Structure 1
Amino acid sequence: MAEIIDADKGEASSCGRSKDILNENLYENKVQKIPASFRCVQHYFGSYVFPLLEETRAQLRSSMQNLQRVPFAEVIDFSKFERDATKLYYVKVDKWQSRFSGGEPYRALPGDNFVLADFKTESVCDLQRVGRSWGIVTVTKKASEKDKKNYDLCSARNEDSPNEKLIESLCSELNESQTRSVRACIRSLYIANSSVELIQGPAGTGKTKTIATLLFTLLRMRCRTLTCAPTEVAIMEVASIFMKIVNGAKSNALFCPLGEILLFGNEERWKVSPEIEEICLDYHVERLAKCLGPEETGCVSLYHYHISSKNESTREKEQENTTTEIEEKESTSDDEVSKGKCKSFL
């Protein structure tokens, strides 16, 4: 059985740390009598905040008093759920066990709260011992079979995979947040469900550089990628930074064919700079026309010449081999005669 849990919700329910749930005096001086009338909407909602928090804390505390009676299971896998920026975790547990015989087996459902601990709890006193680690978590989604397959696929592509090493080498110029964004986008390729990854931040935080690095990583992974932008200026900026990364990689002996990169759009508004000229559509068409045009000795003519030369070379080698075999046979016959190995019969 596997669930997706939210480590934030347990803490939000108690408005603090999970251990505050056991504190009976947590909101003692904050819970006040709710008035009969209110000055404004904010006053109305604000009057209910601490009473609701205290009620939630008391209910959780009451439920935790019966830890010795609730079902339990051993966690066999626990990992960060990469598709979300919040504290979402994918948890896989062994078979749920009941402390008492009889009754239907427990099945986790969204909204259920759990005590996640590094030990088997028998009572609230166990949680209060020094050195114990535990927290309150909430099930947000029950994993489907498709989620399990996707998770297994993503888990198989661990930190030692070639793609992870490639990402690490190409993102050396990015900060931790930018690298995390690139890695999240790359890992979403291996999830069957369609997803949208948003790279956001204030101006000057390196969003364009992050996108350009992501594009170069996808190119090195031989993934076909379409990049769109609302304005010509935006796409030209992405293309410019992208080509700087490509040209910088050439010095490191990374093979990157420019023929696989194509830039097109409203050329009337473009101001093509020299560094991105090689990837423009018109430039590609010009070069191909020169290579394939009938008036020039282009790629096709050179190809036919190469094939013809190769065939002629093959024929010459075959003739040389035949001549060598004949000479070897003649020399062998002469040796046998000279050594008296030829016999005559009457």
Structure 2
Amino acid sequence: MRIEGRDLIDLVLCWSLEEVLDVDLYKGQVGTIPTEFDSTSDYFKSFIPSLIEETHAALSSSIKTLWRSPVVEITYIAPTAEFELPNNLFYKVHLSTDESSLIPKDLIALTDKRPNRVDGFNITNEPYVVAIVCKADPDRPNVITILASKPLLLENLHQMRKNEKRESLFGVYMTNITTNVRIWHSLHLGLQDLERVTVLSLVVS
């Protein structure tokens, strides 16, 4: 499955909970964007560190208030045809409600209980599993496709549903990174165009 801004999304999904909460994670790594540049390539590249830092800051801020974030209950989850270890962890998900407020590029935390504090994440003994909504079915709003940060031990989840407590899996809304992904895509598209121009000029010369 092709996903716009995949490099940025992979970076976000690889952050650990400790890294997300670390407000100084990118301290000293993001410089002031200059007013003049030696090349067009330098211009595009200068915005990338700031964009990563802004994305991290948004996620860090949202995770501290998860206890009051919207929550959806997941009633069914299974790997899609595109699922492939270790990075293409795509899952088809059914939500308990007929109407879903989740849209593409929403980041959600997956947990087996409604969190009331940051350290409340837990799914099959794996802390902090986050996913991004890749696709929402317009005809079935409660069916979405997600890309998860870690493989989900679904046999444990199915076993949980069989017990008397009828435990389930929840998706907790964190933030939406549509704008971040679009900017990331535009910056890298600009760099790719420059590379094509350079190659063509070398061929012509």
TM-score by length of 1: 0.33
Per-residue deviation, 1:145: 4.8
- For 1:203, the equivalent position in structure 2 comes to none
Q: Is the contact made by 1:10 and 1:18 (CA closer than 8 Å) also made in structure 2?
A: no
Number of aligned residue pairs: 134
Change (3 A) 1:84 1:127: closer
Residue-by-residue CA offset, 1:287-328 (whole Å, 9 max, x unaligned): xxxxxxxxxxxxxxxxxxxxxxxxxxxxxxxxxxxxxxxxxx
- For 1:248, the equivalent position in structure 2 comes to none
Q: Is the contact made by 1:13 and 1:56 (CA closer than 8 Å) also made in structure 2?
A: no
> What is the distance in 1 between the residues matched to 2:13 and 2:82?
26
- For 1:251, the equivalent position in structure 2 comes to none
Partner secondary structure for residue 52 of structure 1? helix
Residues 1:138 and 2:129 aligned together: no
- For 1:74, the equivalent position in structure 2 comes to 73
* Higher relative contact order, structure no. (Cα contacts within 8 Å, ≥ 6 residues apart): 2
One-letter amino acid of the structure 1 residue matched with residue 10 of structure 2: A
Of residues 103, 113, 120 in structure 2, which corresponds to 1:126? Answer: 120
Q: Is the contact made by 1:10 and 1:137 (CA closer than 8 Å) also made in structure 2?
A: no
Alignment root-mean-square deviation, CA = 3.6
> What is the distance in 2 between the residues matched to 1:15 and 1:67?
17
Alignment of 1:91-102 (within 5 A): 91-95=93-97
Per-residue deviation, 1:125: 3.6
Partner secondary structure for residue 49 of structure 2? helix
- Structure (1 or 2) with the greater helix fraction: 1
Per-residue deviation, 1:16: 3.5
> In terms of Rg, which structure is larger?
1
Change (3 A) 1:139 1:145: same
Identity, % of aligned positions: 25
Change (3 A) 1:9 1:41: closer
Q: Deviating runs (4+, > 4 A) in structure 1?
A: 8-11, 144-149
TM-score by length of 2: 0.53
Q: Is the contact made by 1:15 and 1:53 (CA closer than 8 Å) also made in structure 2?
A: no
Where does structure 2 lack aligned partners over 5 or more consecutive residues? 144-205
Q: Is the contact made by 1:11 and 1:17 (CA closer than 8 Å) also made in structure 2?
A: no
